[in-house]
Structure 1
């Protein structure tokens, strides 16, 4: 491999000494209820330091087995379970004569169960779409409420570590960066979210505009879905996270598998001042790049609810806006129609059998 493709190094080390590690670890337990357990917590901190200092990211592994490039490589049992869940979801997705499956993503971080004290408009719009879809016979609707990241104990979507930007084969499908037990990066929600996307025949994302962008939870999910767009389904080919070996694989020729290709999508973006059109376009471009298929013009909306009105009355503004309510219902109907047409062979996207000459 030529020198210019060698992994670049040079950033400062993030390693902590034991004293700082202990301080941060024990800072998780400030409640007086833990005072009587101080001795136990210090022993647990010692065990956690041992795991951290020895970089035990995946303490439980097993041999990969004959289906992998290197059957003797020790794969994380967490990753194997996540891969098996995706495989089962793919079987459901491809089931001939099975139900039509839809995923509705409520993208706001606002929830009545945490600091804001009130539900989001995104959630309400998702419920309008859900009711339309659930009235269709032989249909299953899953709702992904991303506000649970802010309101529910132990819910995390950890940030993408950008393995793909080093080289595509280093990004595994599903993501193998988490859990990382040595760093305390655990309880990652994405291993439950990946199968939701895989199962679905149609996906609708509803998000507010937050500072000219999608909400924080939606962006976290988007970044972690990069492995669905060209990710490597066999970590043994890169011996885990061997960046040099992974670069060689890409330079030798990588097929950039699109693991979510062909699913229909709908995007609904709502704002109150600016940015809705650009966010809608950004989401749609992202989904198209992953080779999902737009359901139709009526399935993509950017609208303002309570334009330049006070935030205190935003739900009243939505109550009064019967037009956007019906537009959301129509978006759901359009998504359903696209899925049904595709399943029965009545809708074929021109050029969908052509290979893109620009993979990366």
Structure 2
């Protein structure tokens, strides 16, 4: 079998020691650090040593039984992430457990950072949450605005391992944390179990320049490993591209970690792009083999169309129809999950009355 070699030729991003030190010390510019400069210089030296020697995962443990190479040293970060995913999968599979819902806030706007005001998405999520709360349900909210407002909440970009070979993309993602590059505090190891645990997922987001928002798109890209990624990093001995290519070319089964969950999508805009963004998100979810809960579960609307941004919350106050449509989208998702868990064909929301006529 012919296995293509990994193509090389891009310029090296490797920094010299002086440049690395300058960048590293940028995080300590506050004068409050002045009395500790000598200690910080020592820390910068240790950080350079980790960087220069590419210690991506300084703490490891043997993979053990059940892996292709039980002797391989797996990152303890990855081992913990895998354990959390496995526990979430058991919760999802529990037939006696509640209907589990994940609501994702795609807006980066928050009163706790520069905008100084909550997002309309957050208000719509509150409506959806109240509709989903029932005796047989449990609702979890993933607020992606924390990426902009909370210390240490990072979603690092996808490195596109899947494009080299499917087997090189590990689930959960093994690209992060990369301690040698300072790529730490990656939120995705907490986000993966939220998606795995859920029976139904609802995404509520604004449009940003005809596209999903930056935090939402980061999360979407990093979920690629949940759709066909490799659950065994030892099979590729970490990130050995040729080994991954060989595995894929022998035949890859593309494990779909999120298949058969129900979804709802609500996209709101001000002037343009809401329909295209709703379509893009829904198409992405369908491609990962999630199931649309019903026709009323997918919604794109404009709130305060071409009106001043300064009065957009007042526009939402007055738009009782869109509030009702969001409520119906959540109720459709609730019904769809109940039908799916009962083994019924999903036909949710068909009996709900639309808040506005044609």
Match of 1:28, SS state, is helix
Q: CA deviation at 1:346?
A: 1.8
Please give the alpha-carbon distance, in whole angstroms, between the structure 2 residues aligned to 1:158 and 1:88: 24
| Counterpart residue number, 2:243 | 245
User: Deviations along 1:181-218, whole A, 9 cap, x unmatched?
Assistant: 00000000000000000000000001100000010000
Contact kept, 8 Å, 2:293 with 2:346, in 1: the verdict is no
Please give the alpha-carbon distance, in whole angstroms, between the structure 2 residues aligned to 1:247 and 1:96: 38
**2:311 maps to 1:337:** no
Alignment of 1:47-86 (within 5 A): 47-86=46-85
User: Deviations along 1:130-179, whole A, 9 cap, x unmatched?
Assistant: 01111x11211000000000000011000000000111000000000000
Q: CA deviation at 1:345?
A: 1.5
**2:305 maps to 1:303:** no
| Counterpart residue number, 2:2 | 2
Please give the alpha-carbon distance, in whole angstroms, between the structure 2 residues aligned to 1:27 and 1:60: 26
Please give the alpha-carbon distance, in whole angstroms, between the structure 1 residues aligned to 2:34 and 2:117: 35
**2:116 maps to 1:121:** no
| TM-score, length-scaled by structure 1 | 0.95
Alignment of 1:76-155 (within 5 A): 76-134=75-133, 136-155=134-153
Contact kept, 8 Å, 2:112 with 2:149, in 1: the verdict is yes
Match of 1:102, SS state, is strand
Q: CA deviation at 1:2?
A: 2.7
| Counterpart residue number, 1:230 | 228
Q: CA deviation at 1:348?
A: 5.8
C-alpha RMSD over aligned residues: 0.9
Please give the alpha-carbon distance, in whole angstroms, between the structure 2 residues aligned to 1:280 and 1:291: 17
Please give the alpha-carbon distance, in whole angstroms, between the structure 1 residues aligned to 2:265 and 2:340: 19
Please give the alpha-carbon distance, in whole angstroms, between the structure 1 residues aligned to 2:344 and 2:232: 35
Match of 1:289 among 275, 287, 290: 287
| Counterpart residue number, 1:33 | 32
| Counterpart residue number, 2:23 | 24
Q: How many residues align?
A: 347
Q: Moved runs in structure 1, 4+ residues, more than 3 A? A: none
Uncovered stretches (5+) of structure 1, i.e. residues with no partner? 350-360
| TM-score, length-scaled by structure 2 | 0.96
Contact kept, 8 Å, 2:336 with 2:346, in 1: the verdict is no
Alignment of 1:160-175 (within 5 A): 160-175=158-173
Uncovered stretches (5+) of structure 2, i.e. residues with no partner? 348-358
Please give the alpha-carbon distance, in whole angstroms, between the structure 2 residues aligned to 1:153 and 1:126: 23
Q: CA deviation at 1:41?
A: 0.4
| Counterpart residue number, 1:183 | 181
Contact kept, 8 Å, 2:110 with 2:145, in 1: the verdict is yes
